[in-house]
Structure 1
Amino acid sequence: MATVWPISNGRPKIRSGANTSSGRALVITCGVPSKPRSSCPIGWGAQCYLRHMVGDRSQRRRDVLETSTNLLHEGGWAALTMREVAARTGVSAGALYQWFDGKDEIYAELFTARLNRGIAQFDAMPDDLPFDDVLASMLRWVQTTWITLGRWQLDYSDIARGREPGQARSALSEAYRHILEVGSVKLQAAAEREGRRFLDDLDTMHMIWGIAAGIAQRAEILQMETERVDQMMERAVRSLSAGLTESA
């Protein structure tokens, strides 16, 4: 006869001294807690409980990242504090520090996610786009990224050279190098379609990124109108297109 062990508060209850050698099977059943936290299609057994906890933690991390982005928009780097993030997301400071060492690490994860989305966008560019259109799209993406996230506590030179310590910063460095590589491949292919060669070297893509970020920074400082910013971008595309390509 199987021995059935009950569940207490949604967790499997294992009684000490259980004996399976005598032929009694240890059976864990899915009970239902008196106050269910949420619906679960497989019941409140061990698997269900673990899935619930993992899913809850993943959601809390997403909440932390979303809240951090909002704080950056509202008040810049100074507004992003661990205390404020914890208060807005409803998690304890202790739990927050278990997930992130500090706001630098939160920021690194935010920026890495942004870069990974950019990589996907660059990869999805049509293969028949002219060189100048590919370049303009990349400059615009960098400009938007800088406006969204990139104006705070970020040294692109160190990132490009992999000098950022820690796991989160290491992932950021890798994503940054990857997006530059993808951009280089796209520009080279576009140039070849037009009978040109893209003059790429170690720092070319880094320079392109810096120019786009510089335009965004100057536009913000001087509070430029959109039309003037667009004109600056168009001049940048023409200058870079002429200076970074040659006849094949």
Structure 2
Amino acid sequence: MSSPNGKSIYGDAEARRRRTLDAAAELLDEGGYTALTIRSVAARAGTSTGLIYQYFTDKQDIFATLLNESQLESARFVAALPRDRGVAALVAAVIPESARQWARIGRLAAVWRDLDAREGRDSTGARRTARESVGRLRVTAEQYNAELLRAITEAAQAEGRPLREDPAMLPFVLSGLMGVADTLVNNWAAHLDPADLVEFTADAITRGISR
């Protein structure tokens, strides 16, 4: 039995969906993708597998949904950053957010690529519908990339910095962000102050894309 506002005798539907995603994120943090099963998510969320299947097709659907959320969160974060402090300051502000997202989900990028590849080989309309969240991954990734490029371009304009006009510029920035995020998350440079590493990386990226 349910009511028009989305609530039922079992509670609020959106709250249950959110609890499911939060439980899945915790399992990913603790044990990686192999720890993510419908049964384990249900146990962590305090619900049943049947209820989870009302919102998600399978564990790939849950994972893809978390990735989409992560990318949209990052896009909103970048969109809100000030542009008047220059490119290096903007990149330095993006690095901690990149590290936060990398620690949460980004390290499972290989799973993401696998999902995308399998989706591309799928020729049945029904399966594509079931994998709607997987199909959105490319869209949300492009949204984040476009937001980051816009922010960098506007920050460069604000300080009068000419940028290199090269299609490799954005992939170069993204690679730099991913590399330093991985270093920060795994503490690969324990002998360095993280703030110094962030500053150095931001300056290096800025010089690399300037002309």
Q: TM-score range by the shorter chain?
A: 0.7 to 0.9
Relative to structure 1, is the Cα distance of residues 228 and 164 closer, same or farther in structure 2, using a 3 angstrom cutoff?
Answer: farther
**Aligned pairs for 1:83-94 within 5 A:** 83-94=39-50
- 2:145 aligned with 1:189: no
Closer/same/farther in 2, CA of residues 172 and 236 from structure 1, 3 Å limit: same
Instruction: Tell me the secondary structure at the aligned position of residue 127 of structure 1.
Output: coil
Match of 2:36 among 80, 104, 116: 80
Partner of 2:202: 237
Match of 1:207 in 2: 172
Match of 2:12, SS state, is helix
Q: 1:164 to 1:58 in 2, by over 3 A?
A: farther
- The equivalences for 1:28-107 within 5 A come to 48=3, 51-53=6-8, 56-107=12-63
The alpha-carbon distance between structure 1 residues 213 and 155, as it changes in their structure 2 partners (threshold 3 A), is farther
Amino acid at match of 1:242: R
Residue 220 of structure 1 and its aligned partner are, at CA, apart by 4.7
- Which structure shows the higher strand fraction? 1
Change (3 A) 1:226 1:145: farther
Hey, what's the Cα distance between the residues in 1 that align with 2:7 and 2:134?
Answer: 29
SS across alignment from 1:152 = helix
Q: When the two structures are superposed, what TM-score results if normalisation uses the length of structure 2?
A: 0.79
Tell me how far apart the structure 1 counterparts of residues 24 and 160 of structure 2 sit (CA, whole Å). Answer: 46
* Cα 1:81/1:226, change in 2 over 3 Å: farther
Counterparts of 2:176 and 2:93 in 1: how far apart (Å)? 14
CA 1:156–1:139 in 2, change beyond 3 Å: closer, same or farther? Answer: farther
Q: Is the 8 A contact 1:164 1:173 kept in 2?
A: no
Q: Tell me which residue corresponds to 2:65.
A: 109
CA spacing shift, 1:164–1:243, aligned 2, 3 Å: farther
**TM-aligned CA distance change 1:175 to 1:97, over 3 Å:** same
Paired position in structure 2 for 1:127: 83
C-alpha separation in 1, matches of 2:11 and 2:113:
37
RMSD between aligned residues: 2.9
Closer/same/farther in 2, CA of residues 144 and 175 from structure 1, 3 Å limit: same
Q: How many residues align?
A: 199
* AA aligned opposite 2:32: G
Gaps of 5+ in 2: 120-130
Q: Aligned equivalents of 1:187 and 1:56: distance in 2? A: 41
Give the whole-Å Cα distance in 2 for the aligned partners of 1:96 and 1:102: 9
Aligned pair in 2 of structure 1 residues 157, 97: CA closer, same or farther (>3 Å)?
Answer: closer
Alignment of 1:175 onto 2:152: no
Normalising by structure 1, report the TM-score. Answer: 0.69
Aligned residue for 2:162, secondary structure, equals: strand
The Cα of 1:68 is off from its aligned counterpart by 0.8
Q: Computing the radius of gyration over CA atoms, which structure comes out larger, 1 or 2?
A: 1
